[in-house]
Structure formats: C-alpha cells, structure tokens
C-alpha cells in the first residue's frame, strides 16, 4: 500500500517537474556511480545547485523511489545566485546488477519538484572466489585472460575497469618501476593498494589518438606488484579503433566522399589448396569530394590486395586485384577485406571472400 501511495506522489510531482522550468540550476542531474562492489557498502554522490529564483529558498523534502536510496540536503536558506547541495546515498546490499534510481527534490518557493537520477552496476560478492575468478596470475585472480576494450574512437581516451581479487595475505600495489606499457596505455589499481583477500579494480586507460592506428589493434601490458610475486603480470589488450567524424549537415553529407564497391561478397567456389586464386573488384568514389583510403586490412596474411590505394577523385573508379593463397587450408572458408576511408557515412566497408577449399 505504501509503495502505491509513493508511486502516486512521484507521478503527480513528475507532472510539475515537466510542466515548468526549474529555478534550481544543477551542476548535473544524472550521476553514473559506475561499477560498485557490494561489500564496500554505501556510495554517496553530491549534486550542487544554484538558486536562480527571485527569493531565498530552502530544500523542504527529498523523495526517493527506493528504500535503498536516501538524500541529505542543505538545511540553511539559499540566497539568490547562491549554491546549495543535495547528497544522495545508495546502499548496494542485496541489489546486484544494473540500477537506475530517481530522486525528487522539493523546495519552499515552487510547487515544482526537480528530478535527479543515479545509475550504476552492483557487483555482488561471489560465494566461491576461485570459481568466479578462475584465472590466477601471481597474487591476482581475474575472470579473463584478455582485456577487451571493444570500440575505441581515434580522437579520445577510453577507460575500462577490470575486476581483480588479491589472493595474497598482504596488501598489493603496482610496482611502477617495473611497468611495461605502450605509451598510449595507462594502468592503475582502485584502490591504489588492494587489501588482502579483497576485490578491487584494475583500471586500463587507452588513448586512441596516441595509438594513431585504425582497425583491430593488439598490445601487451606487463608489470610487477609490491610485494613481488616473482613474475610479471601480463595481459593481451585488444581494441578496435574507428575514426571520429564530426556531425555533418544534410548539405555536407550530400557532397561528402562515398565509397561504392562492385560486390560485397566474392564467391570463389570450389578451389584447390595448392592454387592461388585472384579476383577483381571495382571501387568507385560516388561522392563529390576526394575519397581518401586510410588503410586496407585483411584478416589473414594469405589475402593480398593490389595496387596500393591512396585517393579517388569524385566519380573516379579503380579495379583492384584480390589474391587468396589457400595453402594448408581445407573446407568452407571466409576471408575479409576491410577498407578504411574518409566516407563519413561508411568509414569502414568490408568485403567477404568465400570459398570451399578441396
């Protein structure tokens, strides 16, 4: 019954929230708390506001849509153009998985309620640590052998938190005198020292601009810990880097370069394993600006493309040769050729080479 009443109150307040402009100017109205370890307990975040009304005001009430979320607020009057604060606290106990919680903030000078949100993901403490973190490297237990960053933009920095468990009897920290990271990668622990028999995060920051490449990329990171486990911790790190394009208007898109290919799939049919097969493919710039080829990538050294591609003028086309050496291969086979260009609508275009090797 209480929950029904609460939902009714929230629904009515939301009507006022969306029907008028707030006199409270917030530094943010949504806070992503990220990944939260359940055993670490309460997590708090501050929301700061500025009084943009015509008189002093007080925060009179905070209503949350869940008993796991509470709010504290500035008790004093907030003068015109002065700042106040609302602190929202979330309790992750017995709440595994992703969450989104809504908080309504009422003030003394308006019938309108302001809406705040907190989001995140709670990671429950596993019952069986060894089973949940099956891979042990030195003193650390982890879930995966490879760090997969997924899609990365080539003008920005991507960060990923990896769950780690300190299986030792001592606090564990990265020994930065032993690190071997590429210049575009940084690694740290959160907290800086992992307590014995406890969890934390290994934070990997990847700078796509510094890497200066496109497509599939693989690196290796290695370091020692203090105390020394007697070996280097090593992880392969993989990412797929895409080029950034600023938003374009319809007029700009209409004159942008555009890659067109004569076929997205090339059927080689039944072929012999001891015979190199070559096929032709026509590429055309269907746009009104120069088409620039950033890179041509294949998923196997057994596939080659010639000639080297550089630029196509508007309306220009070129016939390229794609050669496939099926030596030591057998059965149904698919190979991929990916073209990276400055076509803003399709910056990567992949052609599939299909065959059955006998």
Residue 122, burial from CB neighbour count under 10 angstroms (0-12, 13-18, 19+):
buried
pLDDT at 7 > cutoff 50? no
pLDDT of res. 232: 85
Considering the domain architecture, whether residues 50 and 158 belong to the same structural domain is answered as no
pLDDT of res. 137: 86
Considering the domain architecture, whether residues 111 and 18 belong to the same structural domain is answered as yes
Q: Residue 306 is encoded by which pair of tokens?
A: 């010639």
* Number of residues that make up the chain: 358
User: The domain spanning residue 99 has which CATH number?
Assistant: 2.60.40.10
Domain span at residue 301?
A: 250-357
Helix (H, G, I), strand (E, B) or coil at 176: strand
Considering the domain architecture, whether residues 85 and 12 belong to the same structural domain is answered as yes
Considering the domain architecture, whether residues 103 and 184 belong to the same structural domain is answered as no
Of 242, 258, 283, the domain-final residue? 242
pLDDT at 111 > cutoff 90? no
pLDDT interval class at 279 (50, 70, 90): very high
Provide mean pLDDT across the span 142-167.
94
Of 242, 274, 298, the domain-final residue? 242
Average model confidence (pLDDT) across the chain: 92
Distance CA 340, CA 95 (A): 44
- Strands (E) in 112-197, as ranges, are 113-123, 135-137, 140-142, 147-153, 157-166, 173-180, 185-190
b or e along 2-33 (b: 16 or more beta carbons within 10 Å of the residue's beta carbon)?
Answer: eeeeeeeebeebeebbeeeebbbebeeeebeb
Distance CA 308, CA 38 (A): 54
Domain count of the fold of the chain:
3
Distance CA 345, CA 256 (A): 9
* Backbone CA torsion sign across 291, 293, 294, 298: positive
| pTM summary value | 0.80
pLDDT of res. 356: 96
* Measured CA distances, 128 to 22, 125, 132, 286 (Å): 49, 9, 6, 58
Considering the domain architecture, whether residues 59 and 140 belong to the same structural domain is answered as no
Considering the domain architecture, whether residues 192 and 172 belong to the same structural domain is answered as yes
User: φ and ψ at 319, to 5 degrees?
Assistant: -100, 125
Helix (H, G, I), strand (E, B) or coil at 220: strand
Considering the domain architecture, whether residues 212 and 308 belong to the same structural domain is answered as no
pLDDT at 8 > cutoff 50? no
Of 90, 123, 156, the domain-final residue? 123
């Amino acid at each position: 019954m209480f929950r029904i009443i609460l939902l009714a109150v929230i629904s009515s307040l939301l009507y006022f929230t969306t029907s008028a402009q707030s006199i409270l100017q917030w530094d943010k109205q949504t806070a992503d708390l990220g990944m939260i370890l359940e055993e670490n307990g309460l997590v708090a975040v501050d929301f700061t506001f500025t009084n943009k009304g015509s008189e002093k005001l007080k925060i009179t009430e905070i209503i949350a849509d869940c008993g796991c979320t509470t709010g504290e607020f500035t008790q004093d009057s907030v003068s015109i153009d002065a700042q106040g604060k609302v602190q929202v606290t979330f309790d992750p106990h017995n709440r595994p998985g992703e969450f989104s919680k809504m908080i309504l903030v009422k003030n003394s000078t308006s019938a309108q309620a302001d809406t705040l949100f907190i989001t995140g993901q709670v990671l429950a403490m596993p019952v069986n640590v060894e089973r949940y973190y099956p891979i042990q490297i030195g003193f650390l237990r982890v879930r995966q052998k490879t760090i997969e960053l997924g899609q990365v933009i080539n003008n920005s920095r991507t960060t990923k938190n990896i769950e780690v468990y300190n299986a030792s009897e001592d606090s564990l920290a990265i020994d930065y005198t032993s690190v071997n990271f590429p210049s575009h990668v940084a690694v740290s622990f959160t907290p800086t020292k992992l307590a014995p028999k406890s969890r934390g995060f290994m934070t990997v920051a990847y700078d796509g601009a510094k890497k200066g490449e496109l497509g599939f990329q693989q690196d290796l990171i290695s370091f020692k810990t203090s105390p020394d486990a007697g070996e280097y911790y090593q992880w392969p790190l993989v990412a797929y880097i895409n080029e950034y394009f600023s938003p374009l208007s319809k007029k700009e898109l209409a004159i942008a370069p555009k890659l067109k290919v004569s076929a997205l799939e090339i059927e080689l049919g039944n072929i012999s394993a001891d015979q190199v097969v070559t096929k032709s493919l026509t590429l055309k710039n269907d746009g009104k600006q120069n088409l620039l080829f950033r890179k041509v990538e294949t998923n196997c050294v057994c596939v080659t493309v010639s000639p080297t591609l550089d630029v196509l003028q508007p309306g220009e086309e070129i016939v390229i040769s794609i050669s496939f050496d099926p030596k030591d291969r057998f059965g149904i086979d698919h190979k991929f050729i990916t073209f990276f260009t400055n076509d803003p609508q399709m910056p990567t275009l992949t052609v599939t080479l299909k065959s059955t090797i006998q």
